[in-house]
Structure formats: structure tokens, C-alpha cells
Amino acid sequence: MPSKSRSQWEKESLEPSRKRVPERQKRFETTSGIEVKPLYTSEDLDGWDYHEKTGYPGEYPYTRGVQPNMYRGKVWTMRQYAGFASPEESNRRYRYLLESGQTGLSVAFDLPTQTGYDSDHPLAAGEVGRAGVPISSLTDMEVLFEGIPLDKVSTSMTINATASILLALYIAVAKKQGIGQEKLNGTIQNDILKEYIARGTYIYPPKPSMRLVTDTFQYCAKHVPNWNTISISGYHMREAGATAVQELAFTFANAIAYVRAAVDAGLEVDAFGPRLSFFFVAQNDLFEEVAKFRAARRIWARVMRERFGAESPRSWMLRFHTQTAGVALTAQQPDNNVVRTTVQALAAILGGTQSLHVNSKDEALALPTEESAQLSLRTQQILAHESGVSETVDPLAGSYFVECLTNQLEEKAWEYIRRIEEAGGAVAALERGYQAREIHDSAFRLQREIERKERVVVGVNEYAAPTPPIEKIQRIEAEQTRRQLDRLARVRRERDNARVQATLRRLGDAARGTANTVPPILECVESYATVGEIADTLRSVFGEQHEVAPF
């Protein structure tokens, strides 16, 4: 037993130190506003059954990890999110990253592709290839994956409103490679609810959008069994200003809505539950982030087993990809971003992620160069093979501080989830702008703290220094855009346009009825109908969603 009580220790030890360091006289708290005490002891876990709440790794409620041996058996999948300029340039980048040791592809699509416009649409002008790879037809997809055997790689595609179209394109490319869709392994983000809340690349109103999501669940459960049909994302809400608590709560409220919609559509929860996956951010607050990932596994296990009656342990397991925080990158002193992303990646690994992307140091200025992308990949490889963090499962378990934070984050997240459920669920809440308001308020508080220097951002509001000019940044050349437009024009000239129109009519009929929309979409892409033409057909049936004001 300690020779003195904690209160006695605090009185004797902390008060003198506060007097010696007056500039640190402030309220210490996490980014979610959870107070951080000067010392944690077993008193902070009184009345809490440690084993009941945590269990062993690989056992319900999976607080300590979804696999018994975690990284001792296989390290996380190392992905570098990439896509830019043209399918040719993106293909070259994918090959480069795979040759450098990347173990999975992660595809970024440009904004026209994300919002269902072809590269030659007037609204696409100036955006082709800027935020990702432009994909207008099956020809583009064939070029993108040329020389990459799709049965040998796991591919994650960050796409939402047009997710079922891009999945159909991927299946069609695999078929041309002689690969059956049952052999494909990967993920489509397909998380439309967070688009209404935080990101904005939606096309259709929520109800038909949810139908497209559940149609994909149903199709893949039967035909593409190894595919993760959704990656329910907290990342973008956190990037928009949500706290760690809000990231957990709003993500799982959305997940509950997706599961309920699938069950209402007649799907058995254990038929699609094991293929649900998640996408979280890793921010700078190391211990809060580790605790967040541990709490997330516990919340999801309870949701699936207790709320939806899932019987398969695979339905209870939270599997997630993590990306370091783009919003934390600074244009000032960009070399500092290497340190930031290393801390963030460490948090994700200590928290038990299954897949990880580390942002590149120059992303506050432009798309990453090959050299900076390789450095980000090397960051993961050094953490995996040199740091020792992958050698034991859940290495921070048992820390009074981490366990207490895990409990507090879970409790506060459940409070939000209950509030949203009482309001009618995630869709009803987002239609009233509830989640967006909460995120805006949190973003405002954080920015005010930075401007008042209550929260230090090194190189921005403290320790500023001249930033030397960056010698090399990634640029999108006009010639790359011209080649993309020329290829699209050639597709329109050379395809069987009567066949294209026939497949689009069949898609429209399916959309107006109750048939699954994925098979006719697959038929459309194989006829070389474009992404824009398919999206326009669905627009003519579903209509378009206009912005929901958060206030």
C-alpha cells in the first residue's frame, strides 16, 4: 500500500510545482473536454469489474482487440491513400507504392466522380483529377488497375454517393482479368449519412440513398462475400470539428441506422454484419485516441449483440481503418507534420487498428509527391518493425489513466447515442441539422482556444519561424486532363450506344420499382455507360438533395 493517500500526495507535491511553473496553471483536459487529473490510481476504477468490461483480446466485448494475437500474427494493412491527375498517373503511383512495400490499395476519386459527373461535364471544369483520380467509364477503370491482379490485392475505395457504380466498375474490371467477383477483397466507403452531416458529396435524398446502400449489402452478401460493403466513417466528422466523443457517437448512430435499414429490408443481421467496417481518424491527443479505439470496440459489440440480436461473434467485432488527421497538418514548417503523423499513427496502432494510412508532410500544400508518400509508408514500417509496439496485444491496458478514459469516452458517447435515438434516429436528427450544429459548436470552441493560445499548435501560434519554400510539390498538368477528356470522347464514339440506352432504361425501371439496383448498374457499366449517365438516370427517379442548413 502507498505510504500516503492521493489527496495528501496532491497537496504536498502539486501545489508547489504549480507555483514554480505559473504558465501551466490551467485546466488540463482532452479535446473532448474530459478533465485530465494530475494522477490516476485504482481509486479511479473503484466499483468497475475490469475483466467483465474488457475481457481478453479476441473475446467479447473486444475492448482489447478483435484478434487474440493481433499484430503478433499479422501487422496491420499498410495503405497509402492515392489517386490524382489521371488513371495512368494513379496507376503508376499504385505500382510504386506496392513495390515500396504497401500491402493494400486505397483509391481516392476526384470530386466529379464522387458526385456523379463525367469529366467533360461543365461542373467538372477545374476539378478533374485534382482531389483524386477521375473515373468516367469502364475504360478509365481498366487503365487504373492495369497490371494489378485484383485477386491478389485488397482495395479500399473512398466513394459514397456513387459507391455502387464504382463497385460495379471494379467487378467488371476483375471479370476482364478473368477473376470472379467471389474472389475480390476490399472495401467501399458507401457511408452516405456522414455526407449529409459533414462532407457534402451527396447526390440523392436520404431515403433512396439508403436504399442504394442496402442494395449493395444484399448483392455482396450473395455474390461478393469477401467484400466490406460499407466503411462507416467518423473521420470526416472529426475533420469538420467533432470531438472524439462526437466522432464515436455520431458514427455509431449512423451505423445503427444502416443496420436497422438492412434488417427492415429483409436481411438477416448475421448475413451482412461481419462485412461492416469502420473508418476513424487518429488525432494528436495520444491517450484519448487510444482510449477512443478501445471504447469503440466495446460500444459496437454491445450494439450488435444486445440491440440487434446478432449471434455470430464476427458480427460483434469492430474492424476499422485509421487515417492520420489531415486537419492537423500545417503549411507552416511542414516538416513538423512528420512528427505529428508519427504520434497519430502510434495512437492508432496502440489502439488496435486493422488498417492504417499515414498522411504526407506536404498535404497542407498539395497532393503528396512520391518521396513524401514513401516517407509516410516508411513511418508505418518503422513503427511495425523497429518500435516494438506490435509485439504485445493492447500494451496500454491496465493503465489507470487509459482505462478511466476508455470508460469516460464510452459513457459520454452513449449519452449522445441515446439523445439521437430519442430524436428518431440518425436520419431524423441529421434532417434537423442536429449533428452538424454540435460539430460546428465544437469546431468553434477549438478554433477560439487556438486563437487565444490556450491550445498550442507548434509553428502556428507558438514557436513560429520562417518556412523555407518547398522545392517540389505535386502538380496536375493540363495535358493529363486533356488525355482524360479525349479518352471519354473516344468511349462515347466507339461504344454501342443503343445498348447503352437500353441498359440505362432497365436501370431506371429497377429504381422506380423494388428490384436490387446493383445488377442493372453492373449491366450499364459493362456496356460502357458512364458514371454521369448512370447517376443522371438515378437522379431522374430519385431527385437531388439540397443542402441541409445546420442552423
Residue 331 is assigned to a structural domain of this protein = yes
Pure H helices in 423-549: 426-431, 434-451, 478-494, 497-512, 518-526, 531-542
The stretches of 265-310 forming alpha helices (DSSP H) are: 269-272, 286-302
Cis (ω within 30 of 0) for the bond into 134? no
- Asked, for residue 483, whether it belongs to a domain, the answer is no
Q: Which residues of 320-343 are buried (b: 16+ CB within 10 A; e: fewer)?
A: bbbbbbeebbbebbbebbbebbbb
Looking at residue 51, its pLDDT comes to 72
Q: What is the pLDDT of residue 20?
A: 53
Residues 6 or more apart from 140 whose CB is under 8 A from it? Answer: 87, 133, 134, 484, 487, 488
253 lies in some domain: yes
Look at residue 507 and tell me if it is in a domain.
no
CA 242/CA 31 separation, integer angstroms: 9
Rounded Cα distance between 339 and 359, Å, is: 11
CATH of the domain at 144: 3.20.20.240
Rg, Å, the chain Cα set: 24
**Grid coordinates in use for 424?**
428518431
Nearest CA among 538, 525, 550, 440 for reference residue 172:
525
Q: Quote the pLDDT of residue 549.
A: 52
pTM for the full model? 0.89
Q: Report the b/e string of 160-182 with b at 16+ CB within 10 A.
A: bbbbbbbbbbbbbbbeeeebebe
Residue 7 domain flag: no
Per the rule left: phi > 0, alpha: psi between -120 and 50, beta: everything else, 297 is alpha
pLDDT on residue 5: 73
Q: Which residues of the chain have pLDDT under 70?
A: 1-3, 14-27, 81, 470-471, 473-474, 476, 548-551
Q: What is the pLDDT of residue 27?
A: 64
Helix (H/G/I), strand (E/B), else coil: 462 = strand
Give 453-474 pLDDT, tens digit per residue.
988 999 999 999 887 776 676 6
CA proximity to 30, closest of 281, 329, 290: 290
Cβ burial of 465 (10 Å; 0-12, 13-18, 19+) is exposed
Beta strands in 331-370 (DSSP E): 355-357
Measure the CA angle with vertex 257, ends 181 and 327; round to 5°.
85
The sign of the dihedral angle between the CA atoms of 423, 425, 426, 432 is negative
Q: Is residue 458 part of a domain?
A: no
C-alpha 196, offset from chain centre: 15
Residue 359, domain extent: 50-451
From the number of C-beta atoms within 10 Å of its C-beta (0-12, 13-18, 19+), residue 413 rates as buried
pLDDT value for 85 = 77
* Inter-residue contact 281 to 243 (CB < 8 Å): no
pLDDT digits (tens, 9 = 90+) for 229-269: 899 999 999 999 999 999 999 999 999 999 999 999 898 99
Residue 32 located in a structural domain: no
Q: Is residue 153 part of a domain?
A: yes
User: How many domains is the chain partitioned into structurally?
Assistant: 1
